[in-house]
Amino acid sequence: MPLMILQTPKKYGFNEYTFISMFIPNTYEVYWDTGIENLLDRMKREYGAFWDEERRCKAEKNRTYTIRGIDTCFHSGGGSYLYR
């Protein structure tokens, strides 16, 4: 079943637009047989670890907002491409 049908974003404290921000860019080691629930639980823990109190305070102070879902940058041998 698609994630939206299962009301998954709401379960993790997000909505359909902010859910993507739960996935912090990093390198993660997971096993091939990891279930979707376990993977999403792990991503929520990683999100909480990344956005600790200190980082949240700095972001609020500097009015930093996540726009990762809007801008996507691709790097290739010939250069960088920014899609909006």
Strand partners, 74: 81
* Contact status, residue 22 vs residue 28, Cβ threshold 8 Å: no
Residue 26 lies in a domain: yes
Residue 28 lies in a domain: yes
Residue 66 lies in a domain: yes
H or E element in which residue 83 lies? strand 79-83
Answer yes or no: is pLDDT of 84 > 60: no
Residue 35 lies in a domain: yes
pLDDT in tens, 31-80: 999 998 999 999 999 999 999 888 888 877 776 555 554 444 444 555 55
Parent domain of 42:
8-83
Q: Which two tokens stand for residue 21?
A: 């921000």
Residue 20 lies in a domain: yes
Residue 1 lies in a domain: no
Provide the number of structural domains found in the chain.
Answer: 1
